[in-house]
């Protein structure tokens, strides 16, 4: 099977700062890839380039064989790549329901159908179903600004899924979420994504989450991919241990044995 | 369209206002004329404001529409209302379309400053050009309506007012329908989170361009009406940055709550100004300035939200 | 050759005047992120206060040179009083609100202060020409100009120098630059940002008032005095970069010289040229030609 995402020789420099150096990654359809790295290692820069928020300084990005390097975010979304954000990007003054309804309307109203009313029965039905699928139906009338972190992350991801992407990149989906909520949240998200047959890449700092869901790990350090391997192998790798795990949140937060 | 309560309300109000206007003293009719002419421009500014954008330069279109109509009236001796109105609107829609390509990339203070710069360019040109009247401006002849040529003065004003109410009704209804559509609902979404809108596959800039052109057309229509109502145009009261400031003031005063709000706010502003100038000739700017501050501090939803509170209090 | 010298001189004089008026505006924006429309009021009040005081001094038979003292006294007083009233009375309640809304609030206060001038100083124009007469005239390259206008250039240089020294060489200047770069970070480092805001605003107000006060002997000070200057200052500040003092110099030169050129070669374009440059800069370099740096978003 041809890779769904091919990244070749990707580079990004901001003046004297090298944020990404010679990144080469191929992702097969259906893979679940974890992206590790300390803060500033270049993970979000990578995601920003793949989703069009940043233009690479050099290199190519291909989606299903098609060159999408340098396309604007909205064009990237239309080809079939979606993303969630480290800081959830939702419509703060609208309610959860309105957020999702607006997202659905935008994603599914090409051209002149933009002039049709927002509150259409088909959209409303799909909105209700999506709210239930992501477990945020109870908060449907709350303004997004008043949601808990977890609920807002779920809304962010639900809105990203509205465009029916084939690949979804999640930027730290569990950051800021309490320990007890992390697993239930990720379980729900991964279940919904699996049902939709989506290839997933997510940036994560929590090793237990990585081990639980991921079939492959990309470890970043100073803009380069220093390891590309299944989780067990990656976590045992010497470079990963030195440059990545040393700065990560550990097992001890989940009640395991306390390491040094 | 008729299921929308606001549209029904607007229609009833329009009919009532037209009927009542025949019994109003001429000074009050004048107030209503100026107020509703300005309201057209404020309607457009309200759409932009809901998108999170404030223009400090809409006098470009309001004054521009007025001058377009006035120039036709003076140099080509056109008096027909429909031609003058169309001239105002076509000129401003075209300019708005062209400038829109540039201004749609800007937000917040930059959008405001760029719109100010554009309007001051027109002001600078008008003030220094004899042929265009320079600082004095020039007169606009009384309008005629196809085959109906009313007596200049009260009769013409009455006819103009009926035309203005009809135009206002059409504008308000169209804007209301627009705001209900998906494209219109994007105003709040874009204001709240443009990044998310882009990532949903939609061009926020494109939507803003559309809204900008709409507001230019509305302001141009308002300006044309103003020129015909006032019987004259001049740069300081219609094109200078202070004129833009007035439009923004009325927009804030009216509040973003409803397409009817600009009409109420504009009328209020005209009455306020007339009374203030009459009783406190050297203090009417104090009243305007103080009102602006009060609305900003205590009444962010404008006068419309105040009416809403009163209605809820009794109902 | 004479035309060139005339244009250069007029341009420099006008640029100096614009710089003095606009430097306060840009500093206030740089530190507090507020585009202060009321700056026009500082200017107008400075002019009225100076003209009034000069008139009083003249009527009392005091020596003419006291007029200069009156000018600086007026600027300081106006800046202090109006600046404090405005910042403590209105602006400090608005810092958390939308920046455009703050601009509108300053527009409101500008309107109020415009009419208060009428109530305090009356509607008749003031013409306090004594300081200007005192300095006489000179001839440069065959072009004669009154020395008072030429002294504007000197004043602008002094103001620029003082600002530069203040920002770069003093501890206070370092604190100011920290707040300009990132207010929150400065606060978390223990800087009293409230105090910085108050002092900055008052100094900015004094500078704006100085612009009006110093120019008052050369013009008729009448109602509506501040209206045209505000937009010119906006143009200067936008062109140079909002928050940058070197930018204010560049912006003032750009506006002043192009206006002088237009006035002599193509008078119809006088205002058009200024705002066209403002628009062009906004389109191609919105932060201005000298903008301070900015952090990232997502």
pLDDT digits 0-9 by tens, B61-82: 999 999 999 999 988 888 889 9
Q: Is the model's pLDDT at A255 over the cut of 50?
A: no
Place of tokens 């004899």: B130
Contact B134, B128 (CB under 8 A): yes
More confident residue, B152 or C158: C158
pLDDT mean across residues, chain A = 87
For an interface test with B, the pick among C111, C223, C276 (most B C-beta atoms closer than 10 Å) comes out as C111
pLDDT mean across residues, chain C = 87
**Structure token digits, residue C148:** 């008072």
pLDDT mean across residues, chain B = 90
CB contact under 8 A, B116 and C231: yes
d(CA A219, CA A23): 11
Residues 6+ apart with CB under 8 A from C97: none
Quote the pLDDT of residue B315. Answer: 47
Find the closest chain C residue to B55 by CA distance.
Answer: C100
Q: Is the model's pLDDT at A253 over the cut of 60?
A: no
- Comparing B124-138, B301-315, C213-227, the range with the smallest average pLDDT is B301-315
Percentage with pLDDT > 70 across chain A: 93
Q: CA B242 → CA A249, B116, B285, C138, C228, distances in Å? A: 58, 10, 11, 39, 10
- Stated length of chain B: 315
What is the average per-residue pLDDT within B78-105? 94
pLDDT tens by residue, A65-78: 899 998 999 899 98
pLDDT tens by residue, C12-57: 999 999 999 999 999 999 888 889 999 999 999 999 999 999 888 8
Quote the pLDDT of residue C293. Answer: 54
pLDDT tens by residue, B219-277: 999 999 999 999 999 999 999 999 999 999 999 999 988 999 999 999 999 988 888 78
Quote the pLDDT of residue A112. Answer: 65
What is the average per-residue pLDDT within B89-103? 96
Q: Is the model's pLDDT at C207 over the cut of 90?
A: yes
Quote the pLDDT of residue A247. Answer: 56
Q: CA C149 → CA B162, C163, C218, distances in Å? A: 56, 22, 8
More confident residue, B312 or B13: B13
Q: Is the model's pLDDT at C140 over the cut of 50?
A: yes
CB contact under 8 A, B197 and A51: no
- Stated length of chain C: 298
Chain B residues near residue A83 by CB distance under 8 angstroms: 199
Instruction: Indicate the pLDDT class of residue C148, thresholds 50, 70 and 90.
Output: confident
What is the average per-residue pLDDT within C134-153? 80
Quote the pLDDT of residue C218. Answer: 86
More confident residue, C265 or C136: C265
CB contact B174 to A (< 8 Å): no
For an interface test with B, the pick among A100, A102, A147 (most B C-beta atoms closer than 10 Å) comes out as A102
The count of other CB atoms within 10 Å of the CB of residue A1 is 6
Phi-psi sector, B201: left (phi>0), alpha (psi -120 to 50), beta? left
CB contact under 8 A, C104 and B114: no
Percentage with pLDDT > 90 across chain C: 42
pLDDT tens by residue, B23-60: 999 889 999 999 999 999 999 999 999 998 999 999 99
d(CA A59, CA B251): 49
Find residues 156-215 of chain B whose CB sits inside 8 Å of chain C.
195
CB contact B195 to A (< 8 Å): yes
Q: Is the model's pLDDT at A47 over the cut of 80?
A: yes
Chain B residues near residue A82 by CB distance under 8 angstroms: 199
What is the average per-residue pLDDT within C174-202? 86
In angstroms, the first-to-last Cα distance of chain B is 26
What is the average per-residue pLDDT within B192-209? 90
What is the average per-residue pLDDT within B4-33? 90
Instruction: Indicate the pLDDT class of residue A182, thresholds 50, 70 and 90.
Output: confident
Contact C33, C242 (CB under 8 A): no
Quote the pLDDT of residue B273. Answer: 84
**How high is the ipTM of this complex?**
0.88
């Amino acid at each position: 099977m041809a890779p769904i995402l091919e990244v070749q020789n990707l580079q990004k420099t901001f003046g004297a700062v090298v944020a990404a150096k010679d990144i080469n990654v191929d992702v097969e359809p259906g893979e679940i890839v974890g992206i590790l790295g300390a803060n500033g290692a270049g993970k979000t820069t990578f995601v920003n380039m793949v989703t069009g928020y940043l233009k690479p300084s050099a290199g190519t990005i291909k989606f299903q064989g098609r060159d999408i390097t340098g396309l604007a975010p909205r064009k990237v979304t239309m080809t079939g790549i979606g993303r969630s954000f480290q800081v959830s990007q939702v419509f703060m003054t609208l309610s959860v329901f309105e957020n999702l309804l607006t997202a659905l309307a935008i994603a599914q109203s090409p051209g002149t159908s933009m002039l049709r009313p927002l509150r259409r029965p088909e959209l409303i039905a799909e909105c209700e179903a999506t709210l239930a699928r992501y477990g945020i139906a109870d908060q449907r009338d709350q303004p997004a600004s008043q949601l808990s972190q977890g609920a807002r992350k779920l809304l962010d991801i639900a809105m990203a899924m509205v465009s029916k992407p084939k690949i979804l990149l999640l930027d730290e989906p569990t950051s800021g979420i309490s320990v007890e909520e992390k697993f239930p949240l990720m379980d729900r998200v991964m279940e919904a994504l699996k049902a939709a047959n989506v290839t997933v890449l997510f940036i994560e700092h929590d090793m237990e989450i990585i081990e639980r869901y991921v079939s492959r790990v990309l470890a970043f350090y100073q803009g380069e991919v220093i390891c590309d391997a299944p989780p067990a192998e990656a976590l045992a790798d010497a470079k990963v241990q030195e440059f990545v795990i040393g700065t990560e949140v550990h097992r001890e937060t989940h009640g395991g044995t306390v390491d040094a | 369209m008729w299921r929308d309560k606001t549209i029904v309300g607007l229609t009833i109000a329009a009919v009532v206002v037209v009927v009542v206007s025949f019994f109003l003293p001429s000074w009050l009719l004048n107030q209503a004329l100026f107020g509703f002419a300005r309201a057209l421009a404020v309607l457009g500014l309200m759409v932009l404001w809901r998108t999170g954008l404030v223009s400090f330069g809409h006098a470009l279109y309001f004054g521009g529409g007025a001058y377009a109509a006035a120039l036709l009236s003076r140099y080509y001796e056109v008096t027909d209302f429909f031609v003058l109105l169309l001239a105002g609107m076509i000129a401003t829609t075209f300019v708005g379309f062209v400038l829109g390509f540039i201004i749609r990339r800007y937000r917040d203070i930059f959008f405001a400053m760029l719109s100010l710069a554009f309007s001051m360019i027109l002001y600078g040109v008008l003030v220094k050009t004899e042929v265009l009247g320079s600082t004095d401006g020039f007169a606009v002849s009384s309008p005629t309506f196809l085959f109906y040529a009313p007596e200049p003065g009260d009769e013409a004003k009455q006819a103009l007012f009926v035309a203005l109410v009809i135009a206002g009704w059409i504008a308000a209804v169209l804007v209301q329908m627009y705001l209900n559509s998906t494209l219109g609902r994007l105003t709040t979404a874009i204001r709240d989170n443009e990044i998310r809108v882009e990532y949903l596959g939609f061009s926020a800039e494109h939507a803003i361009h559309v809204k900008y052109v709409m507001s230019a057309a509305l302001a141009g229509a308002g300006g044309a009406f103003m020129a015909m109502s006032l019987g004259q145009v001049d740069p300081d009261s219609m094109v200078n940055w202070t004129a833009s400031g007035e439009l923004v003031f009325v927009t804030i005063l009216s509040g973003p709550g409803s397409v009817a709000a600009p009409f109420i706010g504009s009328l209020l502003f005209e009455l306020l100004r007339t009374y203030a100038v009459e009783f406190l000739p050297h203090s009417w700017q104090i009243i305007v300035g103080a009102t602006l501050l009060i609305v900003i501090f205590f009444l962010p939803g404008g006068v419309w939200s105040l009416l809403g509170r009163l209605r809820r209090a009794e109902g | 050759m004479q035309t060139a010298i005339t244009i250069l001189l007029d341009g420099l004089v006008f640029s100096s005047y614009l710089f003095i008026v606009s430097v306060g505006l840009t500093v206030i924006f740089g530190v507090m992120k507020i585009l202060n429309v009321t700056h026009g009021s500082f200017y107008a009040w400075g002019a009225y206060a100076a003209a009034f005081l000069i008139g009083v001094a003249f009527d009392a038979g005091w020596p003419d040179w006291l007029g200069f003292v009156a000018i600086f006294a007026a600027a300081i007083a106006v800046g202090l009083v109006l600046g404090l009233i405005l910042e403590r009375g209105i602006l400090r309640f608005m810092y958390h609100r939308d920046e455009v809304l703050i601009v509108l609030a300053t527009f409101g206060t500008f309107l109020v202060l415009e009419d208060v001038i009428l109530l305090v100083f009356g509607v008749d124009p003031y013409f306090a020409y004594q300081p200007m007469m005192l300095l006489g005239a000179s001839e440069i390259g065959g072009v004669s100009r009154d020395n008072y206008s030429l002294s504007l250039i000197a004043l602008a240089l002094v103001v620029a120098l003082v600002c530069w020294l203040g920002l770069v060489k003093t501890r206070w200047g370092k604190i100011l630059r920290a707040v300009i770069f990132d207010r929150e970070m400065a606060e978390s480092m223990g800087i009293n940002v409230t105090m910085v805001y108050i002092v900055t605003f008052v100094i900015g107000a004094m500078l704006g008032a100085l612009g009006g006060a110093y120019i008052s002997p050369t013009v008729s000070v009448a109602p509506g005095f501040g209206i045209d200057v505000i937009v010119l200052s906006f143009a200067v500040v936008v062109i140079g970069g909002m928050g940058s003092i070197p930018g204010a110099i560049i912006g003032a030169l750009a506006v002043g010289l192009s206006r002088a050129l237009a006035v002599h070669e193509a008078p119809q374009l006088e205002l058009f040229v200024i705002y066209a440059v403002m628009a062009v800069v906004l389109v191609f370099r919105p932060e201005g030609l000298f903008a301070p740096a900015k952090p990232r978003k997502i």
